[in-house]
């Protein structure tokens, strides 16, 4: 744990943090509101004593009551990875500024979070679906997403038809055993 990093973050962002700075092993975590994202990320990227120039990952999170965007950053100024959590985005209209003005590689990560969680990244020049078809109307990683064949709710009592084992059609039991042994 880099306690000096913790002190720098508390001194620089203490007024905008929505919780305490947390540290565990080689990870430091801060939580901010979505309105403070641009100011905080620009400072983390540009200020000489911070210099978090590498965005390793960006992910959407559905907590069940609100949406979050989690950023994982690295800097040569500290041995710790920095996790920045933009918290309390409303579920009905989750919007947050894009960070592509700092990290160009965030474009595809933001597209993935948009596609899977429905989080809109304002300022992303190419915010469109990346996995799902363009006309798809739902967001598969949200907690309220429902599949018609969801195992927990299915009449098959938790066993979906594709998970059941089947013998090949028109095969004798001896052929099935012989094929399995010869494989």
Digits of tens for pLDDT over the chain (183 positions)? 889 999 999 999 999 999 999 999 999 999 999 999 999 999 999 999 999 999 999 999 999 889 999 999 999 999 999 999 999 999 999 999 999 999 999 999 999 999 999 999 999 999 999 998 888 888 889 888 876 655 555 455 555 455 455 555 666 666 555 444 545
Residue 61, in any domain of the structure: yes
Q: What is the pLDDT of residues 30-69, one digit of tens each?
A: 999 999 999 999 999 999 999 999 999 999 999 988 999 9
Residue 165, in any domain of the structure: no
CATH code of the domain in which 27 resides? 3.30.460.80
**Per-residue DSSP letter, 136:** -
What is the reported pTM? 0.78
Residue 83, in any domain of the structure: yes
* Residue 23 CB-density burial (10 A; 0-12 exposed, 13-18 middle, 19+ buried): middle
Structural domain span for residue 154: 3-159
Residue 64, in any domain of the structure: yes
Residue 70, in any domain of the structure: yes
Cα separation, 81 vs 9, whole angstroms: 13
Query: Into how many domains does the chain fold?
Result: 1
Residue 172, in any domain of the structure: no
Residue 176, in any domain of the structure: no
């Amino acid at each position: 744990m880099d306690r000096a990093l913790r002190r720098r973050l508390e001194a620089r962002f203490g007024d905008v943090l929505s919780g305490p700075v947390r540290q565990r092993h080689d990870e430091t975590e801060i939580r901010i509101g979505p309105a403070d994202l641009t100011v905080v990320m620009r400072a983390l990227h540009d200020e000489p004593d911070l210099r978090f120039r590498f965005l390793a990952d960006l992910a959407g999170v559905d907590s069940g009551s609100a949406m979050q965007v989690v950023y994982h950053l690295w800097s040569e100024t500290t041995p710790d990875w920095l996790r920045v959590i933009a918290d309390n985005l409303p579920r009905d209209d989750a919007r947050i500024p894009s960070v592509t003005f700092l990290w160009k590689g965030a474009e595809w990560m933001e597209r993935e979070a948009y596609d899977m969680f429905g989080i809109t990244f304002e300022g992303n020049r190419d915010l469109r679906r990346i996995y799902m078809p363009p006309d798809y109307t739902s967001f598969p990683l949200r907690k309220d997403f429902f599949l018609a064949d969801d195992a927990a709710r299915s009449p098959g009592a938790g066993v979906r038809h594709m998970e059941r084992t089947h013998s090949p059609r028109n095969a004798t039991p001896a052929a099935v055993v012989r094929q399995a042994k010869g494989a």
